[in-house]
Amino acid sequence: MLALMLVSAIFLWRKIYRELPLFFTYIASAWTIGLMRYATFHVGRATYFYTYWISELAGAVIVSLALYEVFFRRLFQRFYKVRLYRNLFPAVALIILLLMINTALQSADRKAAFLRASHALDLVRTATLFFFVALMAVMGRNWTRYDFGISLGFGLQASVALLNVALSTQTQFNPEVLGTIELVAYNVSCIIWLITFLKAEKSVVPATSDQSSAVAALHQARTWEEALKDFLTPGKR
């Protein structure tokens, strides 16, 4: 939680929240949710139960929005410019969340229902990360430091969460141990983000094809000019 607070402070200090508003919303909400859970832990079991699971599902939505920002708005901007692709991802995420909440509220064993909903959201998040990382590799796209750090942190959390889902079906694994592993992965992700944003990212503006053509034409013109001068200068012919 302390690492996320430091990351939030760095975002405010360097005004990175203007560049990554949805990820800033995630890191700010993450430690806020942690404080809410700690405050309700001593109030009552029912209050803490609903606070925990409602914040867990709400946090999953915020994570989806942060991933949407990284992959659609930054890495694959052509997808973001198409209205269908731009609206499809958040719409599907919202539908999945509503279905999960409805299933949990109608179930007799609400704890198990919320747990299944959380596992399903972890599966969707992992699949989304895997798809876009594979797409980055196939298309030969380059990562920026910010985008790579954010994706690495979320990828670590999603991988461990998915591993916990697989191991939880085995009776020999202690649930408390699995929870500890997931907590360690979460803390490592926070440290990754802190390291990522400690140093400002260099702003690199790639040259467009028109700019490259203009530079090449200018270089060729200068070459021809020098050759013409040599030809017209006495004693150099």
Helix (H) or strand (E) holding 13: helix 2-14
Q: In this structure, are residues 19 and 201 in contact, taking their beta carbons and an 8 Å threshold?
A: no
Sign for the pseudo-dihedral over CA of 150, 151, 157, 161: positive
Residue with tokens 């989806």: 64
What does the DSSP assignment read for 35-97?
Answer: HHHHHHHTT-HHHHHHHHHHHHHHHHHHHHHHHHIIIIIII-HHHHHSHHHHHHHHHHHHHHH
d(C-alpha 80, C-alpha 87), whole Å: 9
Sign for the pseudo-dihedral over CA of 218, 224, 229, 230: positive
Along the 237 residues of the chain, how does pLDDT read in single tens digits?
788 889 999 999 989 999 999 999 999 999 888 888 888 888 888 888 888 888 888 888 888 888 888 888 888 777 667 777 667 777 777 777 677 667 666 666 766 777 777 777 777 778 778 887 887 877 777 888 999 999 999 988 888 887 877 776 665 556 677 778 888 888 999 999 999 998 887 764 444 444 454 555 555 555 545 554 554 455 554
Provide Rg for the chain, Cα atoms: 25
Q: In this structure, are residues 85 and 79 in contact, taking their beta carbons and an 8 Å threshold?
A: yes
Q: In this structure, are residues 85 and 72 in contact, taking their beta carbons and an 8 Å threshold?
A: yes
Q: How far is CA 78 from the centre of its chain?
A: 18
